[in-house]
Structure 1
Amino acid sequence: MIRPRLLIRLTVIQWTLMRHGLDELLFATPWFKPLRFMLWLSPWRLLGRTRRSRGERLRQALEELGPIFVKFGQALSTRRDLLPEDVADELAKLQDRVPPFPGTQARALIEKALGKPVGELFLEFDETPLASASIAQVHPARLPDGKAVVVKVVRPNILPIIERDLEILHTLATLAEKASREARRLHPVDVVDEFDKTLHDELDLVREAANCGQLARHFAGSDLLYVPEVYWEYTQPNVMVQERIHGIPISDLAALRAAGIDMKALGERGVEIFFTQVFTHNFFHADMHPGNIFVSPETPAAPRYMAVDFGIMGTLTPEDQRYLAENFHAFFNRDYRRVAELHIESGWVPPHTRVNEFEAAIRTVSEPIFQRPLREISFGHFLLRLFQTARRFDMEVQPQLVLLQKTLLNVEGLGRQLYPDLDLWTTAKPFIERWMRERIGPKAALNTLREELPRALALLPELPRLTHEALSAQKRQAELLERQAQELRALRGSMERARRIGLQLTLLAITAMLLTLGLCWMA
């Protein structure tokens, strides 16, 4: 049962879709398909409002519906394996630009969260925000000791809006799964669940601060990536204070060149950061769009990245991590059969899939690409073509890999902008091969033994007691099984005796009936 407030919101959504000439989205659903003829009666169609492309109309409708739909469109834009190319291109243009809320309101929220006047908390505080997005906005400030910081403040009253629109998305996803087999294969409920979790994670700035701290520990002492310091004494769920960094925006190519930044090294180091986060740390920044990435001008020959906004971080299970690494390794070596086998072993395609047919489909997609110069190959788009091919074999969407696919596309797109000849394959292959040697094979076995040996030695003094307890438990189990076997034999004996008695009684009854019939006949 849809509650009245959700029904009102759904009405607004449908009205917005119709005004942007997206009536076909409504009438494509099984519930409204019989009324499809009404498309031609739409006043917006008659007024010629549909001359814009469908992708452009969808993007503008999402922008009008508000920040949650903008963020959902951004998330969808990363799933090019599910969308037509023209729609994906338009959704990629969605910008999370939201008018800021008043600085006086931000000041009041900070004072309520931290329990002191802003004048006591900061030496300086600018009520004009540096940036404003759908979840929060950022203000420059200075701590009492003069350190430059930024203050991130969650938008007031944003949670009820998020909950309302998420409930609508959950409702639509559930209806889609019930109505369409194709929709069920794409797991819309799981995709919305993942989006729901991501949004709620972004609302908790303490969680973001913890993510920032963990990423900083992973890259401590590294010249690849700098992570700004968090000031925990100034951090609450809706307010976070962080060191202010001064770098060149990664999208400002002219400024990077003017600073003498080695663009080839910058592109390659970005790829190295990505694979280090995914395969070494298993903790990766999953929102690596240009607005969140800066470059330090201090070491132009070995440029160092600087990152902000750690609300969305990704991890993988050890199984997915291993399967991905093996897939990359097999692709690099053009071992298509192993790629097909890995997809089946991981459960990404059904177990009844014919390996030979799947291998042939993968080879058809891959071989033309490998015949081109490596610098012309987009690994991200190659994976998308592979996923589209795998759809013919009922490959299911893997929600846990959505963030990784999005990040890989961001990284490669960013790298190509910085250095058009970036060769992701050559840069990544040595990393993957090293990871395979360390995690799979004799060296991996030795590393595991080295890690487990201290725990095994710690248990050694307890080994006699544990052995005695195990043997005692085994003896008790054997005795219990023997008792159960005896009871089962006794039960079988009772049943056999009852069967024999029943048979005897039946024969006796038949004999008596025959004697009675005989006597009656003789009489």
Structure 2
Amino acid sequence: MKSALRAMRIGRVLLRYRLDDLLDDTPAERWLKLMRPFVPGAAPSIASMPRGARLRLALQELGPIFVKFGQILSTRRDLVPADIAEELTHLQDRVAPFDGGVARGLVERELGRSIADAYASFDTTPLASASIAQVHAATLHDGREVVVKVLRPRIEVQIAADIALLKSVAGIVERAHPNADKIRPREIVAEIENTLAAELDLQREAGNASLLRRNWENSPDLYVPEVIWSHTAEGAMTMERVRGIPSDDIKALDAAGIDRRRLAAKGVRVFYQQVFRDNFFHADAHAGNIWVDATRKQDPRFIALDFGIMGQLSSEDQYYLAENFMAIFNRDYRRIAELHVQAGWMPAHIRIDELEAAARAICEPYFTRPLSEISLAEVLVKLFRMAQRYELTLQPQLILLQKTLLNIEGVGRQLDPKIDIWAVAKPVLEQILVERYSPQRLAGEFRKRLPEMVTRAPEVPRLLHAWLQQQVEGKHELSMRSRDLAELARIAHAAQKRVVAAVLGSGLLIVAAVLYALEAGGPQLLGVPVSTWVAGLGGAWALLAAWPRR
């Protein structure tokens, strides 16, 4: 009953913002048409808005979980039209706070002790409130100022209910929408579910913050506040309190005397170092989560906040992505095409020359502009979209990286509109690649794995002997793990059976012909010559064998 009422409310909101036009020719659109007489029409000011703006307003009205849904959806530019994705990036995760007394009780429950035991002071008026949690100022008994992040009450129940509803909607869209294979609704909902599950575990977020702090300890470029582990649990997290200026508040930065050009260059370098040096990057790097330390005017640094969404790449993707960047820097389109196939992002049957020509058509126009006007993120987005036409398969983390790169470049250009992203990024990336794949680094990796190799070394002669024995006896088996290979094996097996059946059927036809020639007027079965029965059976068998199967 609750799900039905929630679905009805969603339907009313969709109609109020005229979003039924996004569901053309689907059962959902017909269901909304039935509801339309009972819903007030959209105001002219709403009806005239672009569809992305109408969707953003509808999600804000539906509540915090749908705001989070829109924020996550904005990162999937491979699945969502560009105009909608761009509009969803403007969703603000600011919602009405819940009662401070309730927050106090939740913190006590999570920490297993009273507020008075845990903190010298605890402000029940929140500093900030978002869809998943809110933040309160507090002081430890040793005098340190901290902030306490606490999950909203019963947020898990609300998220579970909304996710269940989204899964039902995704199922309907998958069955009914003509472009369901491109939208991939179940995949979107699964990604939303995984992201929200990670954000509901504040101890996991604290672990992310702790690792990022260790990677950037004593850095003049980025500061990460300290986690107070003695005051952190799954539903409440305590961190050092920091103060700074949001990175998009240009007036405040100028008033503080911050060197914005230097800060912008640092932001680009920090991003590439996080991705390619540390392989651990802040994947929600909008201005609200990236502050500037106002106490360092000539040598400014960033302050990172909110560590619920972090990104990592496999070592293979990391390598291929870095090489792609270098190929773009060097205008080596053949290399871009080869890397996309070598990385496994695209099937091996794609023609390299066609892919090279497509990459050249995308990248070359950018090089007619001054380098300071070229957006590497924009080039990367267009390359990924181009590659989709050639059966591109991307991991969600690559999409997350793409979205983060867009955020970082946006912040950099706000701070310094004339920043040459390419000039800043290329030497950093070159240096990281030299260090990562240097003989010293490879020797270090070898030393790290040496104990494992020594441990397994005694097994090698036995395994080698067993393998050679299999080869000699012809018993070596090929294990197919790929679904495609398994499907090919199934088709080949079915084809083999059809060939055998066809041969048998043809053989029966031949036997029938011989019988007919040699035994005219011979034995009969039910009044029909045996040769005719054999011919009929053979023909039917051959026909069935040749009949195409799906």
> Given the alignment, which residue of 236, 243, 256 partners 2:233?
236
| Contact 1:337–1:355 (Cα < 8 Å) also in 2 | yes
Shift of 1:395: 2.9
Give 1:138's aligned residue. Answer: 135
> Given the alignment, which residue of 2, 21, 39 partners 1:24?
21
Q: Which residue identity is paired with 2:115?
A: V
> Given the alignment, which residue of 299, 308, 316 partners 1:302?
299
Q: Does 2:210 match 1:216?
A: no
Q: Does 2:271 match 1:274?
A: yes
> For the residues of structure 1 that align with 2:160 and 2:34, how far apart are their CA atoms?
33
Give 1:447's aligned residue. Answer: 441
Q: Does 2:92 match 1:98?
A: no
> For the residues of structure 1 that align with 2:32 and 2:243, how far apart are their CA atoms?
55
1:24-71 Cα shifts (integer Å, max 9, x gaps): 123x15335789998998965587552333222211111111111111
| Contact 2:20–2:29 (Cα < 8 Å) also in 1 | no
Shift of 1:238: 0.7
> Given the alignment, which residue of 49, 53, 67 partners 2:50?
53
Give 1:345's aligned residue. Answer: 342
Shift of 1:322: 1.3
**234 and 46 in structure 1: CA distance in 2 versus 1, 3 angstrom threshold:** closer
Aligned Cα root-mean-square deviation (Å)? 3.0
Give 2:224's aligned residue. Answer: 227
| Contact 1:77–1:88 (Cα < 8 Å) also in 2 | yes
| Contact 2:73–2:188 (Cα < 8 Å) also in 1 | no
| Contact 1:81–1:385 (Cα < 8 Å) also in 2 | no
1:472-523 Cα shifts (integer Å, max 9, x gaps): 64687689879xxxxxxxxxxxxxxxxxxxxxxxxxxxxxxx9xx9xxxxxx
| Contact 1:191–1:399 (Cα < 8 Å) also in 2 | no
1:155-196 Cα shifts (integer Å, max 9, x gaps): 001111111111222333344344457432454333322221
3-state SS of paired residue (2:7): helix
3-state SS of paired residue (2:146): strand
Unaligned runs of 5+ in 1: 483-513, 518-523
> For the residues of structure 1 that align with 2:348 and 2:292, how far apart are their CA atoms?
46
**479 and 371 in structure 1: CA distance in 2 versus 1, 3 angstrom threshold:** closer
Give 1:392's aligned residue. Answer: 389
Q: Which residue identity is paired with 2:156?
A: L
Q: Which residue identity is paired with 1:70?
A: V
Give 1:418's aligned residue. Answer: 415
1:409-462 Cα shifts (integer Å, max 9, x gaps): 11010111111111111111112222333445xx35x53234214643786598
Give 1:156's aligned residue. Answer: 153
Q: Which moved more, 1:343-352 or 1:355-364?
A: 343-352
Give 1:167's aligned residue. Answer: 164
Give 1:257's aligned residue. Answer: 254
Shift of 1:408: 0.7
Give 1:521's aligned residue. Answer: none
> For the residues of structure 1 that align with 2:122 and 2:452, how far apart are their CA atoms?
55
Corresponding residue pairs, total: 478
Q: Which moved more, 1:262-271 or 1:47-56?
A: 47-56
- Where in structure 2 are the equivalents of 1:188-227 lying within 5 Å? 188-227=185-224
3-state SS of paired residue (1:267): helix
Give 2:104's aligned residue. Answer: 107
> Given the alignment, which residue of 306, 321, 325 partners 2:322?
325
Give 2:357's aligned residue. Answer: 360
**187 and 427 in structure 1: CA distance in 2 versus 1, 3 angstrom threshold:** farther
| Contact 1:219–1:226 (Cα < 8 Å) also in 2 | yes
Shift of 1:324: 0.8
**7 and 320 in structure 1: CA distance in 2 versus 1, 3 angstrom threshold:** farther
Task: Provide the TM-score with structure 2 as the length reference.
Answer: 0.79
3-state SS of paired residue (1:290): coil
**345 and 38 in structure 1: CA distance in 2 versus 1, 3 angstrom threshold:** farther
> For the residues of structure 2 that align with 1:112 and 1:351, how far apart are their CA atoms?
55
> For the residues of structure 2 that align with 1:70 and 1:433, how far apart are their CA atoms?
39
**231 and 51 in structure 1: CA distance in 2 versus 1, 3 angstrom threshold:** same
| Contact 1:349–1:396 (Cα < 8 Å) also in 2 | yes
> Given the alignment, which residue of 173, 176, 180 partners 2:173?
176
| Contact 2:64–2:131 (Cα < 8 Å) also in 1 | yes
Q: Which residue identity is paired with 2:320?
A: Y
| Contact 2:17–2:42 (Cα < 8 Å) also in 1 | no
Task: Provide the TM-score with structure 1 as the length reference.
Answer: 0.83
3-state SS of paired residue (1:140): strand
Shift of 1:358: 2.1
Q: Does 2:287 match 1:290?
A: yes
Give 1:497's aligned residue. Answer: none
Q: Which residue identity is paired with 1:124?
A: S
**180 and 434 in structure 1: CA distance in 2 versus 1, 3 angstrom threshold:** farther
> For the residues of structure 1 that align with 2:168 and 2:367, how far apart are their CA atoms?
44
| Contact 2:222–2:270 (Cα < 8 Å) also in 1 | yes
**276 and 353 in structure 1: CA distance in 2 versus 1, 3 angstrom threshold:** same
Give 2:61's aligned residue. Answer: 64
Percent identity between the two aligned chains: 48
Q: Does 2:242 match 1:248?
A: no
Give 2:450's aligned residue. Answer: 456
3-state SS of paired residue (2:285): coil
**98 and 340 in structure 1: CA distance in 2 versus 1, 3 angstrom threshold:** same
> For the residues of structure 1 that align with 2:382 and 2:111, how far apart are their CA atoms?
50
| Contact 1:287–1:312 (Cα < 8 Å) also in 2 | yes
**355 and 455 in structure 1: CA distance in 2 versus 1, 3 angstrom threshold:** closer
Q: Which moved more, 1:152-161 or 1:70-79?
A: 70-79
| Contact 1:176–1:183 (Cα < 8 Å) also in 2 | yes
**438 and 97 in structure 1: CA distance in 2 versus 1, 3 angstrom threshold:** same
Q: Which moved more, 1:358-367 or 1:276-285?
A: 358-367
Unaligned runs of 5+ in 2: 476-518, 523-550
